[in-house]
Amino acid sequence: MTEVRIIGIPGIPEIHEGDDLPSMIVTAARENNIAIEEGDVLVVTQKVVSKAEGRIVDLDDITPSPFAESYAREFEKDARQIEVVLRESKRIVRQQHGVMICETYHGFICANAGVDASNVEKTGTVCLLPVDPDASVRAIRDAVKAQLGVTTAVIMSDTFGRPWREGHVNFAIGLAGIAPVIDYSGQVDPAGYELRVTQMAVVDELAAAAELVHGKLARVPVAVVRGVEYAASEDASTSLLIRPAERDMFR
């Protein structure tokens, strides 16, 4: 692998609940003369998947709890949005200075349980993570294969902060057709040293790379990554990326 290409697919319109997202991806690729080829990796942003699946909440429909009201007053937040964050959280890992770090029901550790008010079409609404991101991208993969006759891998990406580092990076929160980790344990480097614990989260690397063409404001929610050598997998899951509690130094 000496060259990797990342090709953004522009022209996908605003997504609404019930839209056929895979067909819209295929149509936009054709209209832009972008061939989706065998072995490509499609990286799709979480936001468009959530919109297609109706994971949008109108804050006018939310009655905040007393805790949400108190927290919102202290940190000048919207109590209704805090309530949505609480409902989407399995537990609150840390809260300080008006920031909530949450564990979602998927097992992800992220700010505000992934609840986001940016890039939603209507003011006063927030977007939630898909209920089952792996199932969501499996459906996209199957539909693309049915329409084009090619087998791809599909990754759903979302933006997470990182401990000890400024800036955000896109991570994989859903995957289909690709093993999430490359394990180099037991291999020997050029100096003869045996690697013992080196594992690379290849799907996170691909999610982060694709963000270079996705952008936050460019309205390019799907990218084709071509030229990557990866291990195909029909049963891999993002759960394999979540470190078990007994090995997590920070729980």
Is 0.85 surpassed by the pTM of this model? yes
* 53 vs 47: CA distance, rounded Å: 10
Structural domains present in the chain: 5-55+130-242 (3.30.1330.100), 56-126 (3.90.1660.10)
In this predicted model, what pLDDT tens digit does every residue of 24-63 receive, in sequence order? 999 999 999 999 999 999 999 999 999 999 999 999 999 9
Contact 134, 176 (CB under 8 A): yes
- Local mean pLDDT, 10-residue blocks, the chain (251 residues): 92 96 98 97 97 96 96 95 97 90 94 91 92 98 98 97 92 97 81 78 97 90 96 92 84 70
Choose among 120, 144, 109: nearest CA to 251: 109
pLDDT at 1: 66
Residue 20: C-alpha distances to residues 16, 23, 26, 53 (Å): 9, 6, 10, 10
